Structure 1
C-alpha cells in the first residue's frame, strides 16, 4: 500500500530532532552565578587620609590608609596604617610610621563618635647634630565626634594621652576628615 502522506514521516522526524535540539539548548542555559563577594566583604569599607602641607621651608606629607568592618548601621571596627614625613629646613626631619585600631559608633545617621588607639614609631633627626637624634614610640588615644554625610565625616578628636614633650602633635585637639568607600 502506498503512503498517501509522504511528508508525514519527515514531519515526525523533524519534530523529534527539533525537540531534542531544544532540550539540549535548554540544558546549556546558564544558571545565575552567585555573587563573588562574601557577606564579610560586603560589610568592609576602605578609606583613610592623605595630607600635604608645604610652605616656608616646611614640608609635611601623610599617607594613612584604613579599613573598617560594619557590624551593623551603628557600630564599626577597623585597622589603619600611617606614614608621615615632616621636615623643617635647617632644623629637623622626622619619619613617623605605625598603626591604629579604630572603633566607630553612629547613634544617629548624621553623628559619628570614635575612639582610636594609635601607636607610632617616631624618628627625629636634628639638622647638624646626630647626637640629638631621637627614636621613640608614641601612643595616642583619640576620642572624637563628627558630623557624617554619606561616606564623609568631618569632626574633631582629642588625644587623652597628649604630652607636649613628645614632639609628635602640637595640640591635643585635632580636626579630621574621615572618608570610607
Structure 2
C-alpha cells in the first residue's frame, strides 16, 4: 500500500475546520433556554379576586390571587391561593385558607368552561349567647367546581357548582356560586 501523507494531513485539516465552523454557527443562534423562558412568561396570565363586605356588625374580607398558563387559545391550566375572613359580631367568626388548581377550556372565544379543585382549611368559631359558650370547628374542605361563563377580553362572568358539596361539613352555604374571573 502506498502511503499518502498529504491526504492524512488533509483529513485532519478538514476535521478541524468543520469543528471551528460548527462552533461559529452555533454561537450565532440564541440559546434554547432563553428563548423558552421568554415564551413561557408570554403565555402566563395573573389575576384573581378581591372581596369586601361590611354591614351592621358584619365583616367579609377575601383575597384570591391566581395565575394561569395558556397552552393555546383554547386550553389553560393554573393555580391559586385563597384567604377569607368572615365575622358576625357576637355570633360567628371564620378563617378559610388554602389553594386550588384550575383548568379552563374555551371552545369558542365567548364561552369558558372550567374545572377547579379547591382545598381549604376552615376554622369556625360560633358564640352561643344562651349558654355563654363557644363552639369551635376546624376541618379541611375539598371542593370540585364545574363552571361555565361568558368571556369578553380578560373578564369572564359565570357560575360554578361544587359537585362535592356536603351541607353538614361545608365551607360554603350553597353548592352554586356565581363568579367574576379577571386575568391580565
Alignment TM-score, normalising by the size of structure 2: 0.76
**What is the SS of the residue equivalent to 1:134?**
strand
Shift of 1:56: 2.3
Name which of 108, 129, 141 aligns with 2:133: 129
Name which of 153, 171, 175 aligns with 1:172: 175
Alignment of 1:1-181 (within 5 A): 38-127=38-127, 129-130=133-134, 132-181=135-184
8 Å contact kept, 2:158–2:178 = yes
Shift of 1:89: 1.1
Shift of 1:165: 1.5
**What is the SS of the residue equivalent to 1:38?**
helix
Shift of 1:166: 2.1
Shift of 1:167: 4.4
Instruction: For 2:57 and 2:167, locate their aligned partners in 1 and report how far apart those are by CA, in whole Å.
Output: 23
Instruction: For 1:166 and 1:129, locate their aligned partners in 2 and report how far apart those are by CA, in whole Å.
Output: 21
Unaligned runs of 5+ in 1: 1-33
8 Å contact kept, 2:144–2:163 = yes
**What is the SS of the residue equivalent to 2:168?**
helix
Unaligned runs of 5+ in 2: 1-33
The count of corresponding residues between Structure 1 and Structure 2 is: 147
Alignment TM-score, normalising by the size of structure 1: 0.77
Stretches of 4+ moved more than 3 A in 1? none
Shift of 1:129: 3.0
8 Å contact kept, 2:43–2:69 = yes
Instruction: For 1:103 and 1:87, locate their aligned partners in 2 and report how far apart those are by CA, in whole Å.
Output: 32
Instruction: For 1:129 and 1:110, locate their aligned partners in 2 and report how far apart those are by CA, in whole Å.
Output: 52
Shift of 1:90: 1.0
TM-align CA RMSD: 1.6
